[in-house]
Amino acid sequence: MPELDFFDCNCRFGSAAAGEAAIATLPELLAEMDYYGVRRALIRHNNLDKGALSSNALLAEALAQKHESRLVGACCILPAQCDELPEPKEFFAWMRQSGMRALTLSPFEHRYLPNRLTLGKMLDAASERKVPVLLNAFAGKWPELYAFLQEFPKLTCVYVESVGKWGSDRNIRPLLENYPNFYFETSGYWVPEGIADLVEKYGSRRILYGSGLPRYNQGSSMLQLRHSGLDAISMARVAGENLEYLLQEAEI
């Protein structure tokens, strides 16, 4: 079996609500990555439901520490109308300086509708720059996700979700078929031979390794990928090369 270079695209850290799993600190996160053999991770902060600005600040502070070469941040955006974030040009400059290479959004927690009226300015700029947008907010919200992608069809985005992928192929596959910049990550996709089937139908460039940490450990999706039946080139792409490519393509 080939040696794989894993780059986790679905990983969170920071304190969580009572009763929820959490990787509270960067040393804990890095220890977890070392244990399972994950070289790099694209990380979000658990504090998103409490506020985009505070979570962005905490994430930037974490990335400023000495381990930033292994970690890349995904920061949260908000509608432009309340003037909470700077204009896109200034915002992307801040992202670059802070070690951020992707975006995420939490519209339902932050009380706005995710559409062109609210997010058009920022997401059009992200689309032009090929900045990946993680769609963790739409977990199980298929009508909302479909409506969002109809408004931003050229956006580079990754469906990042750990719970509801099993049994959802009839929702997932039309998106892979119709939106060439839509990517799918593997956490929670407990479908025998499912990854190989998606790769055969949509190509090995569209699927990314994600763990769902801290809900799941990083080894569970690794095991699924290692035993997927993919050839070595496809497996290496899914494990880390695809995410590396997306982040390198981003013009930040």
3-state SS assignment for residue 212: coil
Nearest Cα to Cα of residue 187 among 222, 155, 212:
212
Q: Give the 3-state secondary structure of residue 159.
A: strand
Question: What phi and psi values does residue 13 have, to the nearest 5 degrees?
Answer: -140, 170
> What residues contact residue 201 under an 8 Å CB cut-off, 6+ apart?
173, 176
Q: Are strands 157-159 and 133-134 parallel, antiparallel or unpaired?
A: parallel
Per CATH, is 6-249 categorized as 3.40.630.30?
no
pLDDT tens figures, 136-171: 999 989 999 999 999 999 999 999 988 878 889 999
pLDDT at residue 94 tops 60: yes
Backbone angles phi, psi at 240, to 5 degrees: -165, -25
| Angle in degrees, CA 77, 78, 82, rounded to 5 | 145
Tell whether omega for the bond before 214 is within 30 degrees of 0, i.e. cis. Answer: yes
pLDDT at 157: 97
pLDDT range class, residue 246, cuts 50, 70, 90 = very high
Residues 180-220: pLDDT tens digits?
Answer: 999 999 999 988 899 999 999 999 999 999 999 999 999 99
Q: Indicate if the pLDDT at residue 16 is higher than 70.
A: no
Whole-angstrom distance, CA of residue 207 vs CA of residue 30: 24
Residue 107: CB atoms within 10 Å: 20
Return the half-sphere exposure (C-beta side, CA atoms, 13 A cut-off) of residue 169: 12
**pLDDT at 74 exceeding the cut of 90:** yes
Edge-to-edge order in the sheet of strand 38-45: 6-13, 38-45, 71-76, 100-104, 133-134, 157-159, 182-185, 207-208
What does the mean pLDDT of the chain come to? 92
